[in-house]
Amino acid sequence: MLSKSFGVDHLKLQKGLYLSQIDHLEGTSTLTFDIRIRKPYVDPILTNIEVHTLEHCLATGVREYLNESSKKGILPIYIGPMGCATGFYIVLQFSDNIYGKENYYPVVYEILEGAISKILEMTEIPAKDKKRCGNVNTLGGIEIAYSLAKEFKQIIEKTMKSRNFDEYPMLEE
Ligand SMILES: [Zn+2]
């Protein structure tokens, strides 16, 4: 069976924040978000250095924001790059007792805005250290993190117009 993401029309999709999957298990909903930072075949893909630098900063920013805002009932499960180097996945687990579908957009918007602010406050790339990372040679400087954080912020802010996640264009059956 093909993954659902292979049904997305990558020639039509725009940069954006997409909720691509919801998985339910025992009182929790696990949400997969696709952050499309670059438009496929139009914008340049993220370089190795951009991907790796943003991975360190975004994973740290999301976790730090969640800790500090002491949000209950949300666990960050995974934050990492797409193999096609055009975007990132963020997987968050929500407690169904605390959050319903109507809460997802405002809560996720707040978390991502918070994570971006955290990145813009960083003075160095987290865990840029051979003991903590498998290849520090592909970690860039903090200015790369700032520039990507601003690119990311524009995408998140664009969703405020509809106050909802972007909608994927699907391939015809
Ligand atoms: Zn690393």
Ligand 1 center–CA 50 separation, angstroms: 11
Ligand 1 center–CA 29 separation, angstroms: 28
Structural domains of the chain ordered from first start: 9-159 (3.30.1360.80)
Ligand 1 center–CA 56 separation, angstroms: 6
Ligand 1 center–CA 135 separation, angstroms: 6
On the 0-12 / 13-18 / 19+ scale of CB atoms within 10 A, 23 is exposed
For the beta sheet containing 28-36, the strands, ordered from the edge strand earlier in sequence to the opposite edge, are: 16-25, 28-36, 87-95, 74-81
Tokens (6 digits) for 42: 């139009």
Q: What tens digit of pLDDT does each residue of 81-109 get?
A: 999 999 999 999 999 999 999 999 999 99
Q: What tens digit of pLDDT does each residue of 40-90 get?
A: 999 999 999 999 999 999 999 999 999 999 889 999 999 999 999 999 999
Q: Is the pTM of this model over 0.85?
A: yes
| 3-state secondary structure at position 148 | helix
